[in-house]
């Protein structure tokens, strides 16, 4: 048996509203168009954006059974960060 146990984290629900996500703007659409990624592809994959001051971060949403479970962000400097739903398993 391991001496180390994983710390239990509380359950928290994440939503588009709690993460302050919004539909992508024309600037972001142009960014992806330069990379040959269509608006339809962005829509199908639920890509959104989050504003941080004057910066726009791309928000890649991840869903399980239609429920938002995680969101990975990328800003213009290619910095990534992640927000996830924490679920305790019995």
Q: pTM for this one?
A: 0.77
pLDDT in tens, 24-62: 999 999 999 999 999 999 999 999 999 988 899 999 999
Would the pLDDT of 5 be above 70? no
Query: Going along the chain, which residue ranges are E strands?
Result: 47-52, 55-64, 67-74, 80-84
pLDDT band at 84 (very low <50, low <70, confident <90, very high): confident
> How many structural domains are present in the chain?
1
Contacts 24+ apart (CB under 8 A), 7-14: 8/88, 9/86, 9/88, 10/86, 10/88, 11/86, 11/87, 11/88, 12/85, 12/86, 13/85, 14/68, 14/69, 14/70, 14/71, 14/83, 14/84, 14/85
Mean pLDDT of the chain: 87
Q: Tell me whether residue 44 is in a domain.
A: yes
Could you list the residue range(s) of the whole structural domain that residue 56 is in?
26-84
CATH of the domain at 31: 2.20.25
Q: Tell me whether residue 49 is in a domain.
A: yes
pLDDT number for residue 13: 80
């Amino acid at each position: 048996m391991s001496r180390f146990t994983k710390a239990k984290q509380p359950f928290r629900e994440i939503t588009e509203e709690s993460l302050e996500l919004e539909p992508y703007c024309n600037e972001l659409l142009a960014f992806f168009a330069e990379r040959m990624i269509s608006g339809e592809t962005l829509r199908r994959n639920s890509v959104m954006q989050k504003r941080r001051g004057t910066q726009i971060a791309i928000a890649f949403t991840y869903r399980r059974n239609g429920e938002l479970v995680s969101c990975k962000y990328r800003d213009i400097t290619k910095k990534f960060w992640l927000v996830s739903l924490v679920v305790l398993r019995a």
